[in-house]
Amino acid sequence: MKTSESTKPKAYMNPYLAGFLLGLVLLATIYITGRGLGASGAFKSVVIASVETVAPAHAENSAYYTNFNETNPQGPWKNFLVFEVLGVLVGAFFSGVLANRTGLKLEKGPRVSNGVRIAGAIVGGALFGYGSQLGRGCTSGSALSGMAVLSLGGILTMLAIFGGAYMLAYFFRKLWLK
Amino acid sequence: MGPLVPFIISEEFSLVIAFFLGIGFGFVLEQAGFSSTKKLVGLFYGYDFTVLRVFFTAGVTAMAGTLLLGHYGLLDLSVIYVNPTFLKSALLGGVIMGAGFIIGGFCPGTGVCALAIGKLDALAFVFGAILGVWAFIESFPLLESIYYADAMGPVRISDFLGMSNVAFGFLLSLMAIGAFVATRLIENKVNKRKPTIERRKRNRYALAAASLFVVLAVTAFLPGKQDIINMKIAEAKRQQTCVFKEIPADKLADEIVNKYYALNVIDVRTPEEFEAFHLPMAINIPFEKMMERQYEPLFKQRLKTNIFYADGDTLVRMACLKAKYIGKSENMIMKESALEFREMFYEAQAPSAEAPKGELQVYHFRTNTARQMNDLVDALKNIGAPVKREAVKIKGGC
C-alpha cells in the first residue's frame, strides 16, 4: 500500500519535550488534587463494578469487595482514576488523529505470529494487572507519581519494574527482536 | 494555596478536572510514542531509550515543580499524597509488573493510550490486565500477609536516606542527566549510529538542564515563604518600629459581651494552656501552627477583628506580627495576659466597704461582665448544632 505525504504518520515529539509536558500535567494534577496520576486503579473499578453486577452474592461475601465499598462510599465509578483514564482515551485518540497514527493495527516483533502476540499481550497484561495491585500502583500511579513526591515505595517499585524487565528481557528476546 | 481539592474545588468537581488532566496525560503519552509497543520495549533491548527519557524528564520536572511550589507556600507538601511504603509487596509487585512489561509490551497507562488509537495488541493487553486485577482480588486472602508486610507508612526517600528533599532532588536530577547521556551512547552503539548531535539541539539541552538546577538552587538557597515571614518578624523586632494596637482587658470583655460577632479572640498558647483556662468565645491557634492552611482565611478576612492574647508579652506580639504578614486582617493584642484576665474577672476580690467609689464600680463592672460572658457562652453553646425538627403528622377526619 502506498501512503501519500498527507497520510503518513508524523514523527514523534522530542522525548525531553514530551517528558517536560508530562511533568507539567503531573504537577498540575498534584497541585489541584494533592495526588498523582494513575491507570491501574481504573481497571480495579471495572473489575469491582463487573463482579458486583454479575455475581452480587459473591461480592457481598468477599472481604475485599466489602472493604472497597467501605472506603469508596461513592461506588467504583465515581472515582478520580476512572475519569482520568476516560480522558486518556480521548487525549490519546486526539493525538493519534493529529499525527495520522489511528487505525486498527497489530504491532508485534518480526518473528512472532499474530496469535503469539495476542497471547503474550493477554499474559503480560494479566501479570501487570496482578503486580499493580500487589505493588499498590503501576508505572503511572506508583513509579512516576511516586518519584514526583519522592515516595520511597514508589521509587522502589519503579526500580523493581524496570529491573525485573531487564532481567527477563534476554529470555523473551524472540518476542521482539529479529 | 494548593492542593485545591477539597477546600477550593469540591471532590465532585475534581472528577471533571480528572477528565481534562487525563486528556493531557493521554495526549502527551501518545505524542511521545508510548502507543507503540516496539518503542516501549526498545528500552529493554537498548535500541530505543525514549521511555527512559520521557519518564525521567517527567518525574524530575514534577519533582522540582512540587518542591518549588512548596517552598513558596503555594502547595502544602505536608498534605499531598505520598504513596505508602510496604517493602515486600512493592518489590514483588514491581518484579511481576516488569515481567508483564517485557511479555505484554505495555504498561496500563500506555496500553490504554495505544488502545485509543486502535492497537489490537493493546486491547488484548488491557483485557489481560483486567483479568489480572480480578485474579488479585480473588486471591487476596492468600496474599494478605505479604500485602501488608513491612509497613513503613508514607515515608519519603529523602527522609529514609536522612537528607533534605532538595538534596535528593539534586541527586535525582544528576542521575537523570547521567542516564540520558549514557543511554545516548548505548543507543549509538546498538544502532551503529554516528555519535553526532546538532549544535543547536545540544545548546537547548544544556539550557534545559541548567534551568532545572536553577529551580533546585532557588528552593535550596533562597528564603521561602516561612523564612521571609520569620525574617520580617525578626527585622521588626530588631528595629522596634512596629506599633501594636492594644486593647485593655476591660474593653475587650465589654466588646465580647456586646459585639462578640465582630471579633475573633485568638489564643496563641499551647492547647494544654488553652484547656486549663481561656477567654470566653476564644479559639486556640498555637503560635507554631499559625501558618497552617486551615487558619489562613482567618488572617485574610477583613470583616472581623482578630484579637490575640497569650501569657507573655513577646509571644502575643510575635503572633500579631505573624498574622500581619500572612494576611490583611485587622489585628490587635490584648494588653493583659490570660492570667491577668482571669484574676480580673473570675477571681475578683470584693473591695472593702470603705474603698473608693471608682474601685467599687470597677468591681461591679467586672463581676457583671463575667456573668454576662458566661451567659453568652452558654447561649451560644449549641450554635453549631443542627436545628431539631419534628415531623408533624397531619391528622385528617372530623
Q: Inspect the interface and report whether the beta carbons of A125 and B83 lie closer than 8 Å.
A: no
DSSP chain A: ----GGGSPPPPPPHHHHHHHHHHHHHHHHHHHSS---SHHHHHHHHHHHHHHH-HHHHHH-HHHHHHHHH-TT-SSS-HHHHHHHHHHHHHHHHHHHTT--S-B----TT--HHHHHHHHHHHHHHHHHHHHHTTS-IIIIIIHHHHTTBHHHHHHHHHHHHHHHHHHGGGHHHH--
Smallest Cβ distance to A47: which of B3, B120, B137? Answer: B137
Over residues A154-163, the pLDDT tens digits come to: 999 999 999 9
Residues from chain B contacting residue A116 (CB–CB below 8 Å): none
Query: What number of CA atoms fall less than 13 Å from residue B196's CA on the CB side?
Result: 4
Is B38 in the same domain as B170? yes
B271: Cβ contacts below 8 Å, ≥ 6 apart: B284, B286
Would the pLDDT of A5 be above 60? no
Asked casually if ipTM beats, i.e. exceeds, 0.90, the reply is yes
Over residues A7-52, the pLDDT tens digits come to: 788 899 999 999 999 999 999 999 999 889 999 999 999 999 999 9
Is B54 in the same domain as B79? yes
Q: Inspect the interface and report whether the beta carbons of B128 and A93 lie closer than 8 Å.
A: no
Q: Within a domain: residue B397? A: no
Q: Inspect the interface and report whether the beta carbons of B106 and A124 lie closer than 8 Å.
A: yes
Q: Inspect the interface and report whether the beta carbons of A32 and B143 lie closer than 8 Å.
A: no
Residues from chain A contacting residue B92 (CB–CB below 8 Å): 131, 134-135, 160
Q: Within a domain: residue B18? A: yes
Is B93 in the same domain as B172? yes
B230 reaches A (C-beta below 8 A)? no
Query: Are the C-beta atoms of residues B304 and B263 closer than 8 Å to each other?
Result: yes
Query: Are the C-beta atoms of residues B35 and B119 closer than 8 Å to each other?
Result: yes
C-alpha cell at A112: 512472532
Strand, helix or coil at B48? coil
Choose the final residue of a domain: B224, B248, B279.
B224
Is B302 in the same domain as B255? yes
Is B99 in the same domain as B214? yes
Residues from chain A contacting residue B35 (CB–CB below 8 Å): 92, 96, 101
Q: Within a domain: residue B392? A: no
Residues from chain A contacting residue B157 (CB–CB below 8 Å): 150-152, 155
Q: Inspect the interface and report whether the beta carbons of A39 and B112 lie closer than 8 Å.
A: yes
C-alpha cell at B364: 461591679
User: pLDDT value at position B393?
Assistant: 56
Is B152 in the same domain as B266? no
Q: What is the 3-state secondary structure (H, E, C) of A100-134?
A: CCCCCECCCCCCCCHHHHHHHHHHHHHHHHHHHHH
Q: Inspect the interface and report whether the beta carbons of A81 and B114 lie closer than 8 Å.
A: no
Q: Within a domain: residue B398? A: no
The residue range of the domain holding B371 is 239-379
Q: Inspect the interface and report whether the beta carbons of A136 and B90 lie closer than 8 Å.
A: yes
Q: Within a domain: residue B396? A: no
DSSP B105-161: S--HHHHHHHHHTTBHHHHHHHHHHHHHHHHHHHTHHHHHHHHTTTEEES-BHHHHT
Rounded to a whole number, what is the distance in Å from the CA of A115 to chain B's nearest CA? 10
Would the pLDDT of A84 be above 70? yes
Rounded to a whole number, what is the distance in Å from the CA of B111 to chain A's nearest CA? 9
Q: Inspect the interface and report whether the beta carbons of B130 and A46 lie closer than 8 Å.
A: yes
Q: From first to last of its 398 residues, what are the pLDDT tens digits of chain B?
A: 778 887 788 888 999 999 999 999 999 999 999 999 999 999 999 889 999 999 999 999 999 999 999 998 888 888 889 999 999 999 999 999 999 999 999 999 999 999 999 999 999 999 999 999 999 999 999 999 999 988 998 999 999 999 999 999 999 999 999 999 999 888 888 888 877 778 888 899 999 999 999 999 999 998 888 888 888 888 877 777 667 888 999 999 999 888 888 889 999 999 999 998 888 888 899 988 888 877 888 888 888 899 999 988 888 888 888 888 888 888 899 988 988 988 888 888 888 878 888 888 888 899 899 998 888 888 887 776 666 666 555 555 44
Is B189 in the same domain as B280? no
Q: Inspect the interface and report whether the beta carbons of B128 and A128 lie closer than 8 Å.
A: yes
C-alpha cell at B298: 482567618
- Give me the number of domains chain B comprises: 2
Is B293 in the same domain as B360? yes
Report which DSSP code applies to A151.
Answer: B
Q: Within a domain: residue B295? A: yes
Chain A / chain B CB contacts < 8 angstroms: 531
Is B220 in the same domain as B244? no
Domain range list for chain A: 1-103, 109-178
User: pLDDT value at position B384?
Assistant: 65
Is B190 in the same domain as B260? no
Is B29 in the same domain as B118? yes
Q: Which of B81, B103, B147, B170 to mutate to test the interface with A (most CBs of A within 10 A)?
A: B103
Question: Quick one: closest CA in A to B99, which residue?
Answer: A165
Rounded to a whole number, what is the distance in Å from the CA of A37 to chain B's nearest CA? 8
Is B211 in the same domain as B258? no
**Between vectors from CA A168 to CA A163 and to CA A172, what angle results, nearest 5°?**
145
